[in-house]
Structure formats: structure tokens, C-alpha cells
Amino acid sequence: GHREVGEYAVGKVSALYATGPLMAHAVKAFGSQGRHFATQAELIAALGAEQDSTTTILIKGSRSAAMEHVVAALCGSGGET
């Protein structure tokens, strides 16, 4: 489940940013470098403030989560999708 995702990510990625009620379990399991956001807009703002040319961001979500909105916001109209 979602908790296991957070546990699996420990030591493999430097941070875990998530949105959605179930992903709160993953963030808790991930630990201090995990951040949970109530909305996609909050997630986008946080990611936008953190990213630079050396940052790799993996966007993952169920189809119903419509994570393409996050990708579009981070990439802008000329970015890769």
C-alpha cells in the first residue's frame, strides 16, 4: 500500500513530496524529508521553489489524480512531458 511506497523510497531518493489523502501514509513512513500537501497547487509551488537544473523529479499518481497538471505547471509550455 501507500505506506510501503514511503518505506521503499527511504535511501533511494532524497525527498518525497506528495498530495492526496492516502499518500500521507507514504510521507509519514518516509520520514523527515517527506512533505505532504493538501492540494496540487501547494505541491506545485513547493516543487517549483526547490527545483533547479540538477533536480530530477519523478511524478507518479493514479490516472484519477490527474498528475499531468503538475507536470504541465513545472515544465511550462515549452518543457518536456
58 CB neighbour count, 10 Å cutoff = 7
46-75 per-position pLDDT tens digit:
998 988 888 888 898 888 999 999 999 998
27-37 per-position pLDDT tens digit:
999 999 999 99
Q: What pLDDT shows up at residue 77?
A: 56
Q: What pLDDT shows up at residue 79?
A: 47
The C-alpha cell that represents 65 in the structure block = 489524480
All structural domains of the chain: 2-75 (3.90.190.20)
Instruction: Enter the pTM of the model.
Output: 0.83
Is the confidence at residue 81, as pLDDT, over 60? no
